[in-house]
Structure 1
Amino acid sequence: MVGIIDCNNFYASCERAFNPALKDVPVIIYSNNDGAVIARSEEAKALGIGMAVPMYEIKRLMKIHNIQGFSSNYTLYGDMSKRIKAIIRQFFHEVEDYSIDESFVSCKGLKYRDQFSYIKDARDKISRWSGVPVSIGVAETKTLAKLANRIAKKQFRETGVYILDTEDKRIDALKNTEITDLWGVARRLGAKLNAKGIATAYDLSMVAPEWAKTNFSVVLQRTIYELNGVQCIPLELVQPDKQNIASQKSFGKFQTEFEPMAEALANYTARVAEKLRRQNFVAGGIRVWLGTNNFSKTDAQYFPEISTVCDVPTDYTPSLIKSAIEALHVIYKKGYLYKRVGIMLIDLRHNSDGTQNLFRADTRQREIAIIKRVDRLNHLNGRDTVRSAQQGFQADWRMKQDNLSPKYTTRLTDIIHIK
């Protein structure tokens, strides 16, 4: 049996965990630049607030119903995710971290004890110890477990657990699940399946797997097998190496000049370089892009992108910033209102990679020594205590975050004081 542990309304629940006054109050989380809704509490959903709704459309509704809105606090959400996943590992030995708020777990061996009681106890303790409510769905396959989790959230929210452990339960769950509510079936694919007379998960489960492979894809074929209790998607207990690390954010206001965008890019590059070192990788190349506001019907549009190869694979922040700025010079053009800039580190390799350049001196050991000292100083004294001059200090380009909650778990000055 496979289970999936999913945090309920994760971003909103993280805000509530440190602010009890938000209990039973509608809560929404804003996207970058506080522009649209990316997460909602159940109370906010009940008021009809949809995903990706622009903020200007619901300002009046927020005042009428006292809806509390927060800027995305990814530092808090990321740290809470780590804490929850650490708690999960106290109850389940085989865990796949599927996303920031979801984990697949193996329920192997639980058949020798009261399975429901054990899982219910785990669910209650994970919720209580973390402060974030979770739901657990259990079934024979990952696809069925996702379906069971959906039932746990919709129909057994107080209990928070649902196990598809009989054939009758499986059939009933499939018949009551629309095709577009199924894991791995997007809206466009759902429309194509509807055109073929396949409206529910049960309808899909009755389709011949070979027909699905011939007319759609091997992915849909696997889904059909999984719906019928045949495991095709195993737990990934060892996460595959990342192929790239990227960072992109929208500017707080439109930018037209090169220097502010270069400063923003330097800061984004410093962030991805830190992640690169934490994962013991070096990058063999970078990709840089710019973008205007694609929602504007009047502004001129421009979305350039460029990829370049590093002289040698590196994790050295100054070298990566230098390459990124050089790439930006190539694609930047005056006369546009730029909304965003981004960078992606590509061709990632383990930092033991010894690739050299015939026309470049070997400075690797010196760079390692320098960047280790920089990382330590920044760890002890705060991010960017030591930084590249290109990163600047004013940061007028920073994205808008007018409603950002404190970083309760990662910043000493934001720790809650009990009086």
Structure 2
Amino acid sequence: MTRLYALIDCNNFYASCERVFRPDLEGRPVAVLSNNDGCIVARSSEVKTIGIPMGVPYFKVRDLLTRYDVQVFSSNYELYGDMSARVMAVLGQFSPDVEIYSIDEAFLGLDGFDGWDLYAHARALRATVKRWTGIPVSVGIAPTKSLAKLAAERAKKNPALGGVAVLGDERTREAALAATPVGDVWGIGRQWSKRLKALGVLSALDFTRQSQHWVRKHMGVTGARTQVELLGTPCFALESQPPDRKSCVASRSFSRPVMDFDDVKDAIATFAARAGERLRQGGLVAGQVTAFALTDRFNTRQPQCQASATVALASPSNLTADLTAAAVRALRQAYKPGFGYKKAGVMMLDLAPAGAAQQSLFAPPAVRQDKAERLQNALDRLNGGHRGGRDLVRLGATGFGSGWHLRREHRSPRYTTAWAELRTVRA
């Protein structure tokens, strides 16, 4: 039985999400901005054709965007996260083995698909995802994950392939490797790309022809595994169950420097609440909480500060009240007045499964703990309902001002997660 992997890649994902509910944008240039409308982080193919690079600051290309009538959107993470979940649910219809690699990519295991028409299966997958979610995807199929990722890139960039590329034989594989710059290989970073090019290794095929001893000696085990994968032997297993998390971070940059302690405290409390949501979703508890606040390191004309502190919880917890109290306590220890902070966040450490965490002798009595957990469950149900949405009910520690909140002047409605922002269709 031949082992096969498929890499499903959502095309221009953020821009595609915006188009799902705005069909008038089909064929028109669309760009999506980063936090605080800072840089361009997603581009439709039309924007790429114009020549606007990824990551360029918005203010530098504002006039160019206007000249070409580019539709600009602020990042709508609520919409993108929900659309991603819908796409991943559809992929589960085409294979029992799914590894969610990122918000817009997933690997599928195709063991046991010998004798199947892989092109037909991939085309059916693309059509179903498009029909059920509105998101276009590319599919790459190959004997290893590295080759599947390379195949998906070919499927995306070559319209003649119809969105599907299968590297099923050595001739096809070598042609794909020869056409792929070594810097585009999954697992070869920017620094190694420069060093390899200096040695005359320009393509992925060139890389596979290097001495295995040299690759292992200079690039370590990861480089050696990447080379073996490109030669068609799988080294990276499918991770249908994500590995246990060691930490959980919630942070955000501010739209402007924040100097007031209360504003930073409100932000830290909000981030602690977000981290608590993630811990509860993953069935985890934290033993320690770190709070940090940073100034803008790119603004060398302003005084710099990196403030952080860690506090231990009396007993491992994932309750918002416990995490928020610890995060604020850590911030009070770390905070230094007189600085304009540009970013803040919290990190949850010493994570463990909720039912297996070592309890402290000073943990609250069982009755009190049970009441706290029931209160948290009630809050989660209220905030999880689509009628109210997130933050319908929240702790007062998160504040009510907007001194630190994101600037998202071009955000589209949260079509799928907020009742008040559902798309209205008139007959």
Per the shorter chain, which TM-score range? Answer: over 0.9
Q: Work out the CA distance in 1 between the residues paired with 2:116 and 2:362.
A: 65
1:302 Cα offset (Å): 1.1
Which of 153, 156, 166 is 1:163 aligned to? Answer: 166
Q: Work out the CA distance in 1 between the residues paired with 2:249 and 2:58.
A: 27
Task: Find out whether 1:379 has 2:422 as its counterpart.
Answer: no
User: Residues 258 and 403 of structure 2 are in contact (CA less than 8 Å); yes or no, is this contact kept in structure 1?
Assistant: no
Equivalent residue, structure 2, for 1:400: 407
Amino acid paired to 1:375: D
What secondary structure, in the 3-state scheme, does the structure 1 residue paired with 2:294 have? strand
Q: Work out the CA distance in 2 between the residues paired with 1:82 and 1:220.
A: 32
Which of 233, 237, 242 is 1:239 aligned to? Answer: 242
Percent identity at matched positions?
Answer: 38
Q: Work out the CA distance in 2 between the residues paired with 1:162 and 1:148.
A: 5
Amino acid paired to 2:222: V
Structure 1 pair 354–167 and aligned structure 2 pair: CA distance change class (3 A): closer
Equivalent residue, structure 2, for 1:54: 57
1:196 Cα offset (Å): 2.5
Q: Work out the CA distance in 2 between the residues paired with 1:408 and 1:382.
A: 12
Structure 1 pair 205–280 and aligned structure 2 pair: CA distance change class (3 A): same
Q: Work out the CA distance in 2 between the residues paired with 1:354 and 1:297.
A: 44
Task: Find out whether 1:252 has 2:255 as its counterpart.
Answer: yes
Structure 1 pair 336–143 and aligned structure 2 pair: CA distance change class (3 A): same
Which of 106, 112, 122 is 1:103 aligned to? Answer: 106
Instruction: Give per-residue Cα distances to partners, 1:294-344, cap 9 Å, x unaligned.
Output: 111311111222222211101111111111111111111112111111111
Q: Which runs of 4+ in 1 moved over 4 A?
A: none
Indicate the larger mover: 104-113 or 147-156.
104-113
Amino acid paired to 1:33: N
Instruction: Give per-residue Cα distances to partners, 1:128-186, cap 9 Å, x unaligned.
Output: 22101000011111111111111111113661001011211111111111110111111
Equivalent residue, structure 1, for 2:395: 388
1:366 Cα offset (Å): 2.6
Equivalent residue, structure 1, for 2:421: 414
1:29 Cα offset (Å): 0.7
Q: Work out the CA distance in 1 between the residues paired with 2:159 and 2:236.
A: 26
Equivalent residue, structure 2, for 1:114: 117
Task: Find out whether 1:182 has 2:185 as its counterpart.
Answer: yes
Equivalent residue, structure 1, for 2:19: 16
Q: Work out the CA distance in 2 between the residues paired with 1:157 and 1:386.
A: 52
What secondary structure, in the 3-state scheme, does the structure 2 residue paired with 1:39 have? strand
1:360 Cα offset (Å): 4.7
Q: Work out the CA distance in 2 between the residues paired with 1:49 and 1:342.
A: 31
Instruction: Give per-residue Cα distances to partners, 1:335-364, cap 9 Å, x unaligned.
Output: 211111111111111111353333453343
Q: Work out the CA distance in 2 between the residues paired with 1:144 and 1:360.
A: 51
User: Residues 148 and 164 of structure 1 are in contact (CA less than 8 Å); yes or no, is this contact kept in structure 2?
Assistant: yes
Equivalent residue, structure 1, for 2:141: 138
User: Residues 314 and 362 of structure 2 are in contact (CA less than 8 Å); yes or no, is this contact kept in structure 1?
Assistant: no
Equivalent residue, structure 1, for 2:79: 76
What secondary structure, in the 3-state scheme, does the structure 1 residue paired with 2:351 have? strand
Q: Work out the CA distance in 2 between the residues paired with 1:126 and 1:354.
A: 40
1:379 Cα offset (Å): 2.8
Instruction: Give per-residue Cα distances to partners, 1:69-92, cap 9 Å, x unaligned.
Output: 111011100100110011111112
Matched residue count: 419
What secondary structure, in the 3-state scheme, does the structure 2 residue paired with 1:216 have? helix
User: Residues 135 and 157 of structure 1 are in contact (CA less than 8 Å); yes or no, is this contact kept in structure 2?
Assistant: no
Amino acid paired to 1:51: M
What secondary structure, in the 3-state scheme, does the structure 1 residue paired with 2:111 have? coil
Q: Work out the CA distance in 1 between the residues paired with 2:104 and 2:83.
A: 9
Amino acid paired to 1:372: N
1:373 Cα offset (Å): 1.9
Q: Work out the CA distance in 2 between the residues paired with 1:209 and 1:237.
A: 30
Which of 282, 287, 295 is 2:285 aligned to? Answer: 282
Equivalent residue, structure 2, for 1:152: 155
What secondary structure, in the 3-state scheme, does the structure 2 residue paired with 1:117 have? helix
Indicate the larger mover: 203-212 or 182-191.
203-212
Instruction: Give per-residue Cα distances to partners, 1:75-121, cap 9 Å, x unaligned.
Output: 10010011001111111221111111111112223322222112212
Which of 367, 372, 392 is 1:367 aligned to? Answer: 372
Task: Find out whether 1:325 has 2:328 as its counterpart.
Answer: yes
Q: Work out the CA distance in 1 between the residues paired with 2:144 and 2:125.
A: 20
User: Residues 144 and 229 of structure 1 are in contact (CA less than 8 Å); yes or no, is this contact kept in structure 2?
Assistant: yes
Q: Work out the CA distance in 1 between the residues paired with 2:101 and 2:357.
A: 32
Unaligned 5+ segments in structure 1 are: none
Q: Work out the CA distance in 1 between the residues paired with 2:260 and 2:401.
A: 15
Equivalent residue, structure 1, for 2:306: 303
Unaligned 5+ segments in structure 2 are: none
Q: Work out the CA distance in 2 between the residues paired with 1:226 and 1:383.
A: 43
TM-score, structure 2 as length reference: 0.95
Equivalent residue, structure 2, for 1:63: 66
TM-score, structure 1 as length reference: 0.97
Q: Work out the CA distance in 1 between the residues paired with 2:203 and 2:233.
A: 19
Q: Work out the CA distance in 1 between the residues paired with 2:227 and 2:384.
A: 49
